[in-house]
Structure 1
């Protein structure tokens, strides 16, 4: 049996993908959404089984396990999940964000493959949604829980053993909500072609997400999950340099509001088509805190975007 490449197996890698293109909509505690699709994370969790129940993990939740024991080789055909420690914190509900740490082992040899998210090695918090693929891992676990899993290998790869600590859970309606500006904010000027220039003040970056409407449109109101077409330009607060711009790229961007980082999502939803907004977002609302496991070039940066909402394809 072989151990699959770390990039293919880790939830840490999945987190980077989620942040880049799969942030959540505002979920509720209901068991189904407006379209009738189940949002019950408890039901989405993988079932317990003999393999997962036989895994023992020693050490405090939130710290690297001192020992993870299981009899090799572990072979399963379906993912098995057991809650080894039941936490007493907030439970995961649809679209809530989870902060976590994990250790991964090769089920055929017992070799440790990866360990991330402990101490200062912070992983980006990720939204957990039914159908996301990680719903069967986390289910509706509570903060303070430790989950163990046996995950089947594919195409010759070995079964993997996961020990996941649920460090913190933040409900969707509390995550990166828009707050009022608390200090000096960036300014924006536009050239004759309508291309913006963002100027960062010599001041401390604000916390949370701050949205300012530069020009209000008169079109339909953008709702969560709508497909919108926008122009945008983004700079980092630390240096004011443009890291991405549809104006400079020469093409608008189209995406759903739930396919962007949460700070950008907050800037869009509730605004009218035709509006131009300025949004400032703290690192946790963008690409997360920089750490050994989160090496995205924008991790740890407060980001500032100017966004022109051109159309809402969902609204027509």
Structure 2
């Protein structure tokens, strides 16, 4: 299958963000959200592409939330991005900065050929953060969950024109939503702020020398498997110093592949867990940044504690 534009959001995010948060000791990034949410939401509503002759020429068959088929006279002339609402959905409109789940069927504007479906059934794509600047925001604006939209993309140097039937499946929480689990004796304790930001209290005693993890909240979503791309919030504390050395909270959720790009212990923390879960993991140097003399320059030799909220998963084959 060949997808671009909207479908590329997940793949591009995966490529760009691998290693971006967990392999650095940089200070947490500041939130990209506007200081005035109403301004961001107004911009999102205004960002949606106008309906036009190209998008209105597409007839869609099928139920919103399931793969679709279309008919239109081809080749379809697409002068600019156009967006036509087929189903308005219901509930509260999406707000700028929220995470959204979506799916789409894609078609060639030149031949009418179906290029494929992504995001449906057991093959989800990672949730994406919506804004007025990205393609999803320009397709659905401030639509309500359940909305179905026809989006027509003009040809580019890399590809011909394309027609997408885009389904806005819903808003995804930006913190774990699973059922709380009993505390595990000997593990650090975790308290959550109102927005979900964790804080960790380390127990007294010797620093652990083996990898350990425990599920703090058990979600009801898909199981994370080897090779999957995963969207998470995380909070990292050094057991040696007691200091927070990195976290995604206050910025954007972090995307990585369990096949590499993060230290082994971080991937092991989420493998076998379900979407919606929150886990805590203890990483000795052997599955973190290696043995060696502890210093202020990096995390070599340190035992790390991560609290990880699993927000979404994308199978390797998607």
Same fold by TM (over 0.5)? yes
TM-score using structure 2 length: 0.61
The correspondence for 2:250, drawn from 190, 212, 224, is 224
The correspondence for 1:13, drawn from 8, 11, 17, is 8
Q: Alpha-carbon deviation of 1:76?
A: 1.7
Q: Deviations over 1:107-162 (max 9, x none)?
A: 01000112111112211111112223432123212111101011001127321000
The correspondence for 2:39, drawn from 17, 32, 43, is 32
- Cα distance in structure 2, aligned partners of 1:159 and 1:185: 58
Equivalent residues in 2 for 1:61-80, closer than 5 Å: 61-65=64-68, 67-80=69-82
- Cα distance in structure 2, aligned partners of 1:123 and 1:131: 20
Q: Alpha-carbon deviation of 1:235?
A: 3.7
In structure 1, list runs of 5 or more residues that go unmatched.
Answer: 189-194, 254-275, 294-316
- Cα distance in structure 2, aligned partners of 1:197 and 1:128: 41
Q: Alpha-carbon deviation of 1:79?
A: 0.3
Q: Deviations over 1:60-91 (max 9, x none)?
A: 111111x3111111122210011111100332
Any idea what SS the aligned residue of 2:111 has? Answer: coil
Equivalent residues in 2 for 1:101-250, closer than 5 Å: 101-155=103-157, 157-170=159-172, 174-176=173-175, 182-184=182-184, 199-201=211-213, 206-207=217-218, 211=235, 213=237, 214=239, 215-217=241-243, 224-225=250-251, 234-237=266-269, 238=271, 247-248=289-290
Q: Deviations over 1:173-196 (max 9, x none)?
A: x412599774338969xxxxxx99
In structure 2, list runs of 5 or more residues that go unmatched.
Answer: 22-29, 189-206, 220-232, 253-261, 273-280
Q: Deviations over 1:245-302 (max 9, x none)?
A: 883599859xxxxxxxxxxxxxxxxxxxxxx9722325425xx153641xxxxxxxxx
Q: Deviations over 1:204-247 (max 9, x none)?
A: 5744768575454499x998359xxxx976241348999x9883
**What is the Cα-based RMSD across aligned positions, in Å?**
4.5
**Cross-structure match for 1:296:** none
Any idea what SS the aligned residue of 1:236 has? Answer: helix
1:211 and 1:277 in contact (8 A); partners too: no
**Cross-structure match for 2:225:** none
Equivalent residues in 2 for 1:35-74, closer than 5 Å: 40-65=43-68, 67-74=69-76
Q: 1:252 to 1:150 in 2, by over 3 A?
A: farther
Q: 1:166 to 1:133 in 2, by over 3 A?
A: closer
- Cα distance in structure 1, aligned partners of 2:159 and 2:186: 50
- Cα distance in structure 2, aligned partners of 1:25 and 1:70: 42
Any idea what SS the aligned residue of 1:42 has? Answer: helix
Equivalent residues in 2 for 1:76-115, closer than 5 Å: 76-115=78-117
- Cα distance in structure 2, aligned partners of 1:153 and 1:186: 59
Q: Deviations over 1:24-46 (max 9, x none)?
A: 9474772436xxxx862111111
Q: Alpha-carbon deviation of 1:49?
A: 0.7
Any idea what SS the aligned residue of 1:41 has? Answer: helix
2:235 and 2:244 in contact (8 A); partners too: no
- Number of aligned positions between the proteins: 245
